[in-house]
Structure 1
Amino acid sequence: MERSTRQRQAIREVMTELNRPLSPIEVLEAARAKVPGLGIATVYRTLKSLVEEGSAVAVELPGEAPRYELAGKKHHHHFHCTRCGKVFELEGCPGDFSFMVPKGFKTEKHEIVLYGRCTDCLH
């Protein structure tokens, strides 16, 4: 288990406060407000450690580098802003997609990503 440091605590706080999937760069920029000397290597190491211990999960979007969010959330999907690149959580799920699966196939999981502009980018 990794010891708790100011840097690690700042990264956890940022993930909790922003409450959306974050890129390592987004984590770095937000956490530097709390720990000015924070470096990108520390962010990557900490995110890797948080995933390994089960405190965070990687969010994989097609054609994108992983983003990270805190673990333990209910099943949900994502909205990806095509202008600023931020990713936001969408609560809930529209339901069971087994009716779309070819006969004899079995669905194991699904992911829905909506693309458009966030409220900040609409103005």
Structure 2
Amino acid sequence: MISRVLDTAEGPLGVAEVLERAQSDLPGLGIATVYRTLKLLTDQGRIHPVTLDGETLYEASGRGHHHHFSCTSCGKVFTLHTCPVALPRGTVYPGGFIVEAHEVTLYGRCPQCAAPQA
């Protein structure tokens, strides 16, 4: 159930969000089981942690190169499937830094929060 929650999520989720969503189908699910399962799924490579603003979130692995958008109004984090940075692996950045990978998080208001209120 925890794996399914992360597979269908629109972006990375925190532990509390995973618990809440999984409890809709498994009401007796406890937080300790969520932590143990997240560790197991991470060790198996099925999910991976994403750190945003000091909080560890989790998302399914195998989604390819992507970035995140964090809504400053509702707090949801969304996956962006386009890369706003043209910085391929192996690029030599000024000062001799060789790029191996990059992560970008954009901050602002999601479409729902940015919509005019009627």
CA distance in 2, matches of 1:105, 1:69: 29
The structure with the greater share of residues assigned to helix is 1
Deviations 1:40-86 (A, max 9, x none): 1111111111000100010122x321100001111100000112211
Identity of aligned residues (%): 50
Determine if the alignment matches structure 1 residue 24 to structure 2 residue 10: no
Runs of 5+ consecutive residues of structure 1 not aligned to the other structure: 1-9
Partner-residue secondary structure (3-state), 1:66: strand
Provide TM-score, normalisation by structure 1. 0.82
CA distance in 2, matches of 1:35, 1:29: 10
Instruction: Output the amino acid matched with 2:97.
Output: F
Partner-residue secondary structure (3-state), 1:69: strand
Determine if the alignment matches structure 1 residue 71 to structure 2 residue 61: yes
Partner-residue secondary structure (3-state), 2:98: coil
Q: Which runs of 4+ in 1 moved over 6 A?
A: none
Question: Which residue does 1:90 correspond to in 2?
Answer: 80
How do 1:1-123 and structure 2 match up within 5 A? Answer: 10-61=1-52, 63-94=53-84, 95-96=86-87, 98=91, 101-122=93-114, 123=117
CA contact (8 A) 2:11 2:68 kept: no
The structure with the greater share of residues assigned to strand is 2
Provide TM-score, normalisation by structure 2. 0.85
Partner-residue secondary structure (3-state), 1:74: coil
What RMSD, in angstroms, separates the aligned Cα atoms of the two structures?
A: 1.6
Paired residues in the alignment total 112
Partner-residue secondary structure (3-state), 1:80: strand
